[in-house]
Structure 1
Amino acid sequence: MREGLRCVSYDRRGCGRSDRPWDGYDYDTLADDLAAVLESLDLREVALVGCAVGAGEAVRYLARYGAERVERLVLISPTTPFIMRTDDNPDGVDVELLDQMAAAIDADRPRWAAGLAAPFFGGAGAGPEDLAVSPELARWMADLALDSSPRATQEIYRTLFTTDKRAETAEVAVPTLVIHGENDLAAPVELCGARTAGLIAGSSFIRYEGAAHGLFASHAERLNKDMLAFLSG
């Protein structure tokens, strides 16, 4: 409100205080949930801000519902347009990585969550001492990961990893800002941020040198300034 803007956030299904159904973690349903929030609050002239899998939700929302309510789009550390390696996406990530993550969650979910902090905030080769955030914030992030249903955790990862969003990303027609860290392990910058920006006509792309995936915490001040400059432009 200090900047004259209203921020509306919600817990994705399966997470936080939202319900935890067994199904519904595909992009269509997640986009429908976003539509329900926008429609129930009658929000218009909206700037959609999607981080990581949220970028895919925002793009799918525009594909399903159009831009009647949306004025601008901000994609932070996006997992769009397509992460998984296939014959026509040879630079993608092997699906074996998804299988390994699922096995780690099944074997020891708290240990898996605790191990997220170093790559999430530090990137390649980072240890606990290399994070750009406090130990307390890193623990809070791990707690957030655990504050979701195990089913939701795995199915949302499967959705973002296996869904090809190249065609609908190319159809985005609202002014778009893409921001991505160059040391992002979860969503490699060239595979995700650069290709997303390349597909969206007229988009702006900002690279954060040395930054990993969790820009909302590790680079909060710079991220807010860049978003505000885009939204006021």
Structure 2
Amino acid sequence: MSTVTTQDGVEIFYKDWGPKTAQPIAFHHGWPLSSDDWDAQLLFFLKEGFRVIAHDRRGHGRSSQVSEGHDVDHYAADAAAVMEHLDLRNAVHVGHSTGGGEVARYVARHGKGRVAKAVLISAVPPIMVKSASNPGGLPIEVFDGLRAGLAANRAQFFRDVPSGPFYGYNRPGAKASEGVIANWWRQGMMGSAKAHYEGIKAFSETDFNDDLKAIEVPTLFMHGDDDQVVPIDDASKLAVKLVKNGTLKVYPGFPHGMCTTHAEVINPDLLAFIKG
């Protein structure tokens, strides 16, 4: 397997496909998944002639199941270790959900001179949890409930999430895909329960306001208005106002996992932004 070892000794698994001379697109996955969640995008952009890179976050997928470092600072530094190892330049960074937060911090802190554009899809920034300064956020009890479900029966919890809100399969008339649900479960169960448990705090309580303000490259926000996991009003609609050169594209009725359920719409829109 292709891995890079970080400064604190963590092995990060990555995929690096396509011509090494082509423009690179780096994909950052959501919680609690792996780089496999980008299958539909990796294959699409390979056919379009790009070099595609995707890594498994620490504690997720095939990367080391370490005890420490399950926070956004380490996530971004781990991503930087992969990008520097491959010496990626003029890269487009695409992040979904938690991966969108990872992209924001990576670009702000590590990406100077290496990043051409950024895309945040159904992403968690600016900050998810409700507070006096973020009154539209989700109450901490929502995230406590996620932790309780994971700790009590992770295997069942990781069936319930994709069967319901993640892909909008709980909506009237929705046609659930057993394959998609099982693949989500497979990816989740490959990872570490500790990483996933602590990752909930990372994606819900991390404040990305300063990261967004520091991003200077063209940035596209893509978000479904029926996202039940990261509601759009307190996420992309606020985040786009903080970057210097941001665009928001809203997808009526699309769920949180729209890169999978609606890849035939998302992929061409991504391509248009990258080429534009």
TM-score relative to the length of structure 1:
0.94
Please state if 1:48 is matched with 2:93: yes
Name the structure 2 match of 1:120. 166
Counterparts of 1:13-92 in structure 2, within 5 Å, are 13-92=58-137
CA contact (8 A) 2:151 2:197 kept: no
**Greater CA drift, 89-98 or 162-171:** 162-171
Structure 1 residue 2 displacement after superposition: 2.1
**Residues matched between the structures, number:** 230
Counterparts of 1:1-233 in structure 2, within 5 Å, are 1-117=46-162, 118-122=164-168, 125-126=170-171, 130-131=174-175, 134-233=177-276
Q: Distance in 2 between matches of 1:81 and 1:30?
A: 17
Q: Distance in 2 between matches of 1:34 and 1:144?
A: 19
Instruction: State the secondary structure of the residue aligned to 2:183.
Output: helix
Structure 1 residue 170 displacement after superposition: 1.9
Q: Residue type matched to 2:64 in 1?
A: D
Higher strand share: 2
Once the two structures are aligned, what percentage of the paired residues are identical?
A: 34
Structure 1 residue 105 displacement after superposition: 1.0
Structure 1 residue 154 displacement after superposition: 1.2
Higher relative contact order (CA 8 A, sep 6+): 1
**Greater CA drift, 21-30 or 192-201:** 192-201
Q: Residue type matched to 1:120 in 2?
A: F
Name the structure 1 match of 2:7. none
Q: Residue type matched to 1:193 in 2?
A: S
Structure 1 residue 164 displacement after superposition: 1.1
CA contact (8 A) 1:67 1:174 kept: no
Q: Residue type matched to 1:11 in 2?
A: D
Q: Distance in 2 between matches of 1:82 and 1:180?
A: 15
Superposition RMSD in Å: 1.4
TM-score relative to the length of structure 2:
0.80
